[in-house]
Amino acid sequence: MRQRLSLTLCFLFISIWLTPAAAQQALTFRKPATGPTADYITAVLEEAYADLGIELNYQPIPRLRAEQLAQNGEIAGELGRLAGLEEELDNLNRVPFKLYEFSIVLVARKAACGLCTLKSVNNIAYIGGMRAAETVLTDANFDKTTFRQSDIHQVSKLLNAERIDAALIADFQLRNLELSQPKDFIVYHVKSEVGFHYLHQKYKHLIEPLYQRLSLMQASGRLSQLRQQFKLQAPEQLKPMPMPTELTAAAAARPGLTGANGNGRLWQLINTVYGDTVAGVKTLASNWPRALNALLEDKAHMVVGVYKNQFDNELLYSKKPIAMDDALYLFASDRTKKQAILAGQESHTVCYSGNEELHKLLPDSLSFYRANTSLDCFALLDLNRIEGVIDYKYNLPDWVTTPYHRSRLREPLPLYVAFKNNELGAQLKAHLDRALEAKLSPRFISENSNTIR
């Protein structure tokens, strides 16, 4: 008796949610574009619906036309769209299961725009009806030229013909992006999105059983199997990287060039070059070890005002110098000690901060001590714990009442900008190199010399 009652209740439950489907054993949707993500979505939904006794059919319909048909109930709904579609098409209901995740990416020609952020490209192509891309343009207040295309193949043609700087597409469309020279392009991740399945109001009764079936597929690992089967990751040569929205530049503090308060001619240069590509440029001015560590620890994107190949680390340096350094001096408390240091007397110790190469300006027979800051060196000198300091005149401490004895060790040298040796570092360098070639006058380097002598 109990078994008969259980079977009766089971058949009653099935009849409740399958009543309209009994007469409609097939649902029709717009035929999706080909590609791994579209194939994954259709495979997942076909399997889930098949367990409910429903077959899926597809018709080749333009995206915007399909929205109208879905709203009118002439097709069953939308296979996969962004959250919020029900607010625009009120006859559609979202199945509350995250069917797929994707990213909006910016594909840009490196030669056309340097850093190639949304702020720096001159024009963008996108696929018409792709609301996620349109939302990105709206949120970014993009007021430059846009090209609305019918499909990814048209976008590919524009990029290959160099008629556009960039394109805004979904990452799952990268596999269908036919670029003749992929290495000439950079791909930025712009925004993450989640896609859902939508059904027309008259199929609302299918939402709960479909949700339950999709949840079971997730829990059993079936969705993971399908993701691996359809290889949803982007092509290796077009892997998206984060798009910089704010930059940080580090340096050793130099009066007039890279001040600790953010003032200085080199800070002004960096803001001029990068200010129209990102929301803002932050500055960090302290000493060379801290500046280098900030770069290596990804707390800064560049180190400003360095010598060519100043650091042992494998870094990228700007093609042209951006300024001239000041002359370097040996400072000592008296003439006798100064002469002994220049002669290489072994009992003498010289302090320096910053670049390891500085001690090569004096004989190897001396002892050398590397301090964190210039003030540390001069404090040791005043305490007679060392005999000399290698430094610039502008780093002399304020507390000095009796002038030090000094000798000029090196003439001014050109200064550069250093970047990490990675994809973003290469783009930042290329952007600066383009600006130095195109915007700066021949007198720029002499104008940015440190005038303190």
H or E stretch including 418? strand 414-420
We report the CATH number of the domain holding residue 352 as 3.40.190.10
> CA angle at residue 230 from 56 to 35, to 5 degrees?
70
For 150-239, where are the E strands, in sequence order?
A: 166-170, 185-200
Residues 338 and 298 in one domain: no
What is the pLDDT at residue 409? 95
- The count of structural domains within the chain is 4
Please check whether residue 292 lies inside any domain of the structure: yes
Nearest to 202 by CA among 376, 6, 345, 23: 23
Residues 77 and 211 in one domain: yes
Residues 207 and 96 in one domain: yes
What is the pLDDT at residue 14? 42
Residue-range definition of the domain harbouring residue 401: 328-410
Please check whether residue 368 lies inside any domain of the structure: yes
What is the pLDDT at residue 10? 44
* Exposed e or buried b per residue across 383-402, where buried means at least 16 C-beta atoms within 10 angstroms of its C-beta: eeebbbbbbbbbbbeeeeee
Residues 295 and 437 in one domain: yes
CA dist., res. 134 & res. 201, Å (int): 27
pLDDT in tens, 258-293: 998 999 999 999 999 998 899 899 999 988 889 999
Residues 283 and 173 in one domain: no
CA dist., res. 159 & res. 179, Å (int): 7
pLDDT in tens, 345-373: 989 999 998 777 788 899 999 999 999 88
In sequence order, the 6+-apart residues with CB closer than 8 A to the CB of 269 are 322, 448
What is the pLDDT at residue 60? 94
Q: Which residues of the chain have pLDDT under 70?
A: 1-24, 234-236, 439-453
Please check whether residue 452 lies inside any domain of the structure: no
Strand partners, 390: 330
Residues 202 and 95 in one domain: yes
Tokens of 332: 């000592």
Cα–Cα separations (whole angstroms), residue 229 to 39, 49, 98, 232, 363: 10, 20, 19, 8, 66
**pTM of the predicted model over 0.75:** no
Please check whether residue 47 lies inside any domain of the structure: yes
Residues 22 and 143 in one domain: no
**Residue type present at position 186:** I
